[in-house]
A = this chain, B = another copy of it.
Amino acid sequence: MLEVHDVPDQIMDRLLGRLASRGLDGFVHFQTSRARDNVVLHYLSGVQGLEDSGVVISLGSEPVLLVKDFEGDRAKNSGRIKDVRPTTTIPLDKAMVELEKVIAEKRLKGKKIAIDDSELSVEVYLRLKKMGIELVPFSDQVKDLRMIKTEQEIDKIRGAAMIASESLKELRKHLDENLTESQLGALLSLDIENRGAEKSFIHVQFEQNASFPHHISASTRVASPGFLVVDLGARVEGYNSDITRTLTVGEPDSEHNRLFRTVQQAIEEATRRVAPNAKVEDVAKAARDVIASAGFPQPEHRIGHGLGLNVHEAPIIEKGFPGTLQEGMVIAIEPGVYIKGKTGCRLESDLLVTSDGVEELDTPFCPLVL
């Protein structure tokens, strides 16, 4: 796989283009705690897992990454920003002194600076406001940029989808071993890590436990006949996959069969709609129409979502939501049917929108079979 800094820096160029076209002079961000994936800094710098770190980007000048003292070498070696400045970033007021120096050095005082208002905390915002810069909410633009993945980002998601699929396929071999949901989850987890990815999350839900969309894997033994819904995400260099299969334990009866066929048809109909310029709500409607025709209850959750540094990101794939699919988007489609207290079935596949249609990232490695 190519190193991010060996290829043209599309992400930074795209951001600079958006800033320029909107009359903005720069972009600034600072993040204290390391959330699951400090997405803004990771996205812009290419460096994973930064906390107490920030970035100052100005038009016509090199971007600057401020990191904790001991993170300098790691940030330089793994990221795309060359001007890395290790410094004292704790407590926040010290970091703000350093950040303000860079803002002054880049002649951004008195200028209009974009912020990711979805990710920036109020405590940083209130301090930035005192620095004599005009802050412009820009998170919609950042989300919009993040929807269209670069080749390097796609490679990472493809890798994560492949690993999740292969691990899930491997799990089928353990279904008759009388294990609990938790134990099956632990086996999956180990398999994912052995393949070189990180586990992002794993939900293993058997029969009645699968009759609700979310359930924490527990001590229920997977032994009697029924549906085992396995929803899992693997992560490669911070980029996520998110796939679900419904596996059968024992022989499915005719109602289970009908349930599975309905969800399978729902995901297939939705996938068929995926192409550049397709309306996101048409993709969701295709899945819901199949479920409605079969007389099953509709899932309370969304039919699909974008996928990348976050497991859930733009676009939302649902009826009533605006927008169209575009080449370079990666989305997860996940129709499900839940018969409360009885059983449930969900299938989820990760799809890349290509120039002329769709590439299924996971199903070649683990088909949607019953």
A185 to B195, CA, bound (A): 12
B312–A33 CB distance below 8 A = yes
At the interface, yes or no: A178 with Cβ under 8 Å from chain B? Answer: no
At the interface, yes or no: A186 with Cβ under 8 Å from chain B? Answer: yes
A230 to B138, CA, bound (A): 40
Chain B residues with CB below 8 A from A271, complex form: none
A310–B33 CB distance below 8 A = yes
At the interface, yes or no: A1 with Cβ under 8 Å from chain B? Answer: no
- Across the interface, name the chain B residue whose C-beta is closest to A195: B186
Interface size on A (CB < 8 Å)? 47
B125–A316 CB distance below 8 A = no
B118–A137 CB distance below 8 A = no
At the interface, yes or no: A214 with Cβ under 8 Å from chain B? Answer: yes
A156 to chain B minimum Cβ distance, whole angstroms, is 14
Chain B residues with CB below 8 A from A120, complex form: 121-122
A122 to B29, CA, bound (A): 12
B119–A121 CB distance below 8 A = yes
Interface pairs (6), CB distance under 8 Å: A33-B310, A34-B36, A70-B214, A123-B139, A183-B194, A186-B190
> Which 5 A-B pairs give the minimum distances between C-beta atoms?
A35-B35, A70-B300, A186-B193, A36-B36, A117-B122
Instruction: List 15 extra interface pairs beyond A118-B122, A118-B123, A182-B196, CB under 8 A.
Output: A33-B118, A33-B310, A69-B300, A70-B301, A74-B214, A90-B316, A115-B122, A117-B122, A117-B123, A122-B137, A123-B137, A182-B193, A189-B190, A189-B199, A190-B190
